[in-house]
Amino acid sequence: MNKKIIKRIEALLATYPHRTFKPKELARKLGVAKPDYTSFRDTIKKAARDGLIAKYRGNSFGTLQRAAVLEGELHVKAQGYGFLLVGDDKDDVFISQKNMGTALNKDMVQVQLYARSKTAGRSREGRVVKVVKRASQTVVGTYRSTKRYGFVVPDELKMSRDVFVPEGASGLAQSGQKVVVKITSWDDARANPEGEIVEILGFPDDPGVDVLAVVKAFDLPITFQSQVEEEARRIPAEIPAKEIARRLDLRQEVCFTIDPRDAKDFDDAVSIRKLKNGNHELGVHIADVSYYVQPGSRLDREALKRGTSVYLVDRVIPMLPEKLSNQICSLRPNEDRLAFSCIMEVAPSGKTVKYKIAETVINSNKRFTYEEAQGIISGKEKAVPYAEDLKTMHRLSLAMIKRRRQLGSLDFDLPEVRVELGKDGLPVAISKRERLDSHRLVEEFMLLANQTVTEHVALQLAKNGQKPAFVYRIHEQPKQEKMDDFKEFVKALGRPLTQNEPVTGRLLGNFLADLKGTPEEGIVQGIMLRSMMKAKYSTNNAGHFGLAFKHYTHFTSPIRRYPDLVVHRLLKEYAHGIDNDPMPKRKAALTRTSEHCSQREIVALDAERESIKLKKVEYMQRHLGEEFQGVISGVVKFGIFVEITDLLVEGLVHISDLEDDYYFHDDKNYRLVGQFSEKVYRLGDPVKVRVVRVDTDERVIDFTLVE
């Protein structure tokens, strides 16, 4: 009966494509008897939920053709509402919680637009009419059981519905365990989704279960399929003599790697040689993964699927199997290795005079850690092999940094956190990672190599009408609206930017330099970063705003980033000539790869941050009642967020715990102000806090202020 009625409703609405009808109007036109009206009304609502017809404001209905329907990815906020990211350079579409339907965070959905809403601010508003594709069919959470059924409470705060687990669908799961539940049905937004438990991770306190839950939540692959491992195993470790003979042999040149203390895969080695004209020949030698991983192979397909290695707090999920990533591709000391080298002649000013890009064979002389290299640079370690080479590299890197900053390149110096884990997986210490001169040295050389190979393709090869398809690393100009908001933000902090001057990298760089050493430095840097576009991979060269480079790519980490592997292949191919005929098809394929790798990069970063966050919360659980120095990192209507200075751990001081006065939120000036005392808590202010509550399930920390 419902199907017949829906057909009649659709036919009627099609005859009035520009009108909308209330349910009672439709019932009269279709001759629905009064006793059948309730069922008829429910059928209309279900047809709208299923995306067969459109629902408009005022509980009226019409054709979908009349409604503007957009498709895109849904991003849900922890508060329950969300936005449709449409990618058409227009405003994102605001979706209230009640209009979310059965859609979940990151799902591809179709959204019917409403008129602009006051509650949505500048955004357009709409409601989800169809889930086109689920981001994931599984949910990670804590299983709770009753006598007749169970349910899973999701770890993801952006999912507000528990998953109902009927009798017989829980397997051997015990109440309180972390599990993976597969959603088997969810057709009605008024009901909870239904699912079955497909994997039991263990109890939350079991070693490694917390990070494993993150791995599963982000759908990260833990192991390689046996066919992929077998393909890697069959690759010979010995380099064929013919291959060495056709390459530039640099095995007699002094080069070495500089990496973190716990690194196992060494992508890059560096070398330096002073020339008679006073310039330096700087070599950046990158592991030649493209020799071993052939396009279309199982290894290649798996590397593309993963897109990047993921560095979690207690483990690495590599892009390539260990045989490649830690052995035959890794530039280990005193072992012959195939490399792809960018060898640049650099003037004392830091400017590249000329370069060559070549397939090479190298033999790294030594493996330095960043700390060892820093000891030499600072003069603490002297009688060490290659110390003079390192000092020369350091002096050259300083000139390169100066030159880059003069061009308007931004140098964000946001502190990173290091979490030290015990054998049981519990955090035993949290500290800031110090950014050393040795870090900057390596970063600078990699930046120059990345820029040089891109200019080679975009300028040297793009001649006589040839425009070779390429994968660029781009960072687009910030949106004016975001920059206007940022200007208002820093003005409220008493650090105004010139209002009429156009926002450039040089302007922002000078602004950051003036903030150096101030309490609000880190906060302003964070807000500035969030005000900018995200860097991504693209076949359209939009330049890199943050670096002030017109031409930039990723070339230096093919062991852990798939785009770098693609860049190596393109450079090798174009070295033998460019065929323009297949370029449109080639560019389309590279565009798909760029979009996929950009998405995988976001997933990896989110997973890494989440794994660190949960260990921060675990660490603070053992410090309940203790006091710490911090800085106000956020001001909202329900309180202030404080970041502990030494640990980079953030928690909330709820406004109800500010008991000495009634505080109101001055959102324009990013502060709370006492109604009677006029006491002010402002963004960037130093404060002392006590840890009063830690919730490892919700991953939140509450503080109170210590006067």
Residues in the chain: 707
What would the mean pLDDT of 253-268 be, rounded to a whole number? 93
Query: Which residues is 687 bridged to in the sheet?
Result: 630
Is the pLDDT reported for residue 64 higher than 80? Answer: no
Is the pLDDT reported for residue 114 higher than 80? Answer: no
Q: What angle do CA 446, 450, 453 make, to 5 degrees?
A: 135
Same domain, 397 and 513: no
What would the mean pLDDT of 344-360 be, rounded to a whole number? 96
Is 573 contained in some domain?
A: yes
Is 614 contained in some domain?
A: no
Same domain, 243 and 354: yes
Percent of the chain whose predicted confidence (pLDDT) is above 90: 61
CA–CA distance, 307 with 290 (Å, rounded to integer) = 15
Amino acid at 587: K
Is 616 contained in some domain?
A: no
- Count of C-beta atoms within a 10 Å radius of residue 514: 11
Q: What is the CATH number of the domain that holds 91?
A: 2.40.50.140
Is the pLDDT reported for residue 536 higher than 50? Answer: yes
Q: What is the CATH number of the domain that holds 18?
A: 1.10.10.10
State residue 173's pLDDT score: 93
Same domain, 234 and 194: no
State residue 115's pLDDT score: 53
State residue 427's pLDDT score: 93
The pLDDT confidence band at residue 87, using thresholds 50, 70 and 90, is low
The pLDDT confidence band at residue 120, using thresholds 50, 70 and 90, is very low
Same domain, 88 and 153: no
What would the mean pLDDT of 379-402 be, rounded to a whole number? 92
CA–CA distance, 666 with 295 (Å, rounded to integer) = 57
What residues contact residue 460 under an 8 Å CB cut-off, 6+ apart?
A: none
Of 585, 609, 633, the domain-final residue: 609
Is 215 contained in some domain?
A: no
What would the mean pLDDT of 26-41 be, rounded to a whole number? 87
The pLDDT confidence band at residue 678, using thresholds 50, 70 and 90, is confident
State residue 225's pLDDT score: 95
CA distances, 153 to each of 163, 211, 227, 357, 381 (Å): 7, 17, 36, 54, 55
Same domain, 379 and 509: no
Q: In a 3-state reduction of DSSP, which class is residue 19?
A: coil
CA–CA distance, 532 with 504 (Å, rounded to integer) = 12
Same domain, 40 and 181: no
State residue 88's pLDDT score: 52
Is 615 contained in some domain?
A: no
State residue 496's pLDDT score: 82
Sort strands 536-538 and 671-674 into parallel, antiparallel or unpaired: unpaired
116-124 — which CB contacts under 8 Å span 24+ positions? 119/94, 120/94, 121/94, 122/91, 122/481, 123/83, 123/91, 123/92, 123/93, 123/94, 124/90, 124/91, 124/92, 124/93, 124/94
Identify the weakest region by mean pLDDT among 190-199, 400-409, 500-509, 666-675. Answer: 500-509
Report yes or no: 522 and 642 within 8 Å, Cβ to Cβ: no
Q: Both tokens of residue 51?
A: 């995306």
Report yes or no: 672 and 658 within 8 Å, Cβ to Cβ: yes
Query: Which residues is 359 bridged to in the sheet?
Result: 340
Same domain, 430 and 560: yes
State residue 477's pLDDT score: 92
The pLDDT confidence band at residue 202, using thresholds 50, 70 and 90, is very high
Q: What is the CATH number of the domain that holds 165?
A: 2.40.50.700
Is 212 contained in some domain?
A: no
CA–CA distance, 622 with 111 (Å, rounded to integer) = 46
Is the pLDDT reported for residue 298 higher than 90? Answer: yes
Provide the domain limits for residue 388.
226-475+541-609
Same domain, 398 and 323: yes
CB-neighbour burial class of residue 660 (10 A; exposed 0-12, middle 13-18, buried 19+) = exposed
Helix axes 23-30, 2-15, angle to 10 degrees: 100
What would the mean pLDDT of 566-575 be, rounded to a whole number? 96
State residue 584's pLDDT score: 86
CA–CA distance, 502 with 484 (Å, rounded to integer) = 11
CA–CA distance, 132 with 73 (Å, rounded to integer) = 10
What would the mean pLDDT of 593-603 be, rounded to a whole number? 96
The pLDDT confidence band at residue 50, using thresholds 50, 70 and 90, is confident
**Kind plus residue range of the DSSP H or E element containing 376:** helix 370-377
Phi, psi of 234 (to 5 degrees): -75, -10
State residue 117's pLDDT score: 45
- Which residues of 221-373 form beta strands (DSSP E)? 248-249, 256-259, 268-274, 280-287, 310-311, 316-317, 336-346, 352-363, 366-369
Is the pLDDT reported for residue 489 higher than 60? Answer: yes
CA–CA distance, 476 with 87 (Å, rounded to integer) = 14
Is the pLDDT reported for residue 466 higher than 80? Answer: no
Mean pLDDT rounded to a whole number for the chain:
90
What residues contact residue 441 under an 8 Å CB cut-off, 6+ apart?
A: 258, 373, 377, 393, 394, 397
Is the pLDDT reported for residue 578 higher than 90? Answer: no
Same domain, 627 and 694: yes
Helices (H), 198-261: 209-217, 226-233, 241-245
Is the pLDDT reported for residue 592 higher than 80? Answer: yes
Is 548 contained in some domain?
A: yes
What would the mean pLDDT of 670-683 be, rounded to a whole number? 90
State residue 17's pLDDT score: 73
Of 579, 609, 639, the domain-final residue: 609
Same domain, 193 and 172: yes
Number of domains, the chain: 6
CA–CA distance, 273 with 260 (Å, rounded to integer) = 25
pLDDT tens digits for range 414-423: 788 999 999 8
The pLDDT confidence band at residue 67, using thresholds 50, 70 and 90, is low
State residue 192's pLDDT score: 92
Same domain, 127 and 73: yes
pLDDT tens digits for range 622-646: 999 999 999 999 999 999 999 999 9
The whole-model pTM stands at 0.87
Is the pLDDT reported for residue 660 higher than 90? Answer: no
Is the pLDDT reported for residue 616 higher than 70? Answer: yes
What would the mean pLDDT of 700-706 be, rounded to a whole number? 95
Same domain, 86 and 36: no
Is the pLDDT reported for residue 409 higher than 70? Answer: yes
Report yes or no: 166 and 154 within 8 Å, Cβ to Cβ: no
Task: Write out the DSSP string of 406-442.
Answer: HTT-------EEEEEE-TTS-EEEEEEEP--HHHHHH
Is 514 contained in some domain?
A: yes
pLDDT tens digits for range 123-174: 678 888 888 899 889 999 999 998 889 999 999 888 889 999 998 899 999 9
